[in-house]
Structure 1
């Protein structure tokens, strides 16, 4: 039960990160098409994207990290930036509410969301 609550809190944190990045235009190539007529209004779109990113990060992320272990060792972990960019790109491919303009935007966004995910894990594990 605690794992489910932790996952849901992490989804909310990811949704807040998506909202902050797009509202304050921190990452210009990242855009969320909010739906004000949705069940939860505009914020429901951010929660939806946060949920999809959380699921992709929890299911596909470990598989990609395991399969790319030789590259991770060879690049001393820098290949994780590419993996995080791929996870963000996969999230954008799954939903039509998230658009990413290019590979550079995906890499920077992946770095930001890796930091956000790490910070969320640190807060939720204590």
Structure 2
């Protein structure tokens, strides 16, 4: 349970930092970041594997680069389900998803979480 809470907080912090860096991404409150982190976990657990499965030919043809598009769509989907969290445009979602992944990975390693 503690690992889940740490992961949730790390993802929320990375979303807040990303909203400060990437223009077009706004998170109004810390609560919106926590809700967004929770929804992000659900989308990554349920929707993302289905998208990867359905777009497998495009992913293979693009040598895996289409996964960036899938990540951006998932990030955009999270924003549409989360109040006070807004992503304006595809490129904001693309850069935001990349930055959230990088920051979350760095913070997870910093706090000693291995998985």
TM range (shorter): 0.7 to 0.9
Deviations 1:4-52, CA, capped at 9 Å, x for gaps = 5444332221101011123xx2101100121xxxxxxxx3222111111
Q: Which is higher, the Rg of structure 1 or of structure 2? A: 1
The corresponding residue for 1:11 is 8
Query: 1:33-112 maps to which residues of 2 (within 5 A)?
Result: 33-34=28-29, 43-112=30-99
Give aligned pairs, total.
113
Distance 1:120 1:54, change over 3 A: farther
- The alpha-carbon deviation at position 120 of structure 1 amounts to 6.4
Gaps of 5+ in 1: 35-42
Q: CA RMSD in A?
A: 2.1
Distance 1:67 1:118, change over 3 A: farther
Which 10-residue stretch deviates more, 110-119 or 70-79? 110-119
Q: Provide the C-alpha distance between the structure 2 equivalents of 1:71 and 1:96, rounded to a whole number of angstroms.
A: 32
Q: TM-score, normalised by structure 1?
A: 0.76
Gaps of 5+ in 2: none
